[in-house]
Amino acid sequence: MLEPELILLDEPAAGVNPALMDEIMADIKQINNRGTAILVIEHDMSVISELCERVIVMNAGRQVMTGTFEEIQADDQVREAYLGGT
């Protein structure tokens, strides 16, 4: 537990005030920079864009796309799945 190889985070931003979230994000980045892999499940895209090098988008239990945040954000399938095709 003291030096895990992987940490799983499920919605780390849920219900957290913005000032505290800045501290949490800094802590997550520091842990990752020390070599610990971090898997984040999150619906707040600002958290994903700031933390994640690689993003996997899922819809109805299936992988829709994998890529950088910029690639994901520009993908038509992702927009269809999450924004109704807009």
In the chain, what is the straight-line distance between the N-terminal and C-terminal CA atoms, in Å?
44
What does the pLDDT read at residue 84? 63
pTM: 0.79
Least confident of 5-9, 48-52, 57-61: 57-61
Three-state secondary structure call for residue 86: coil
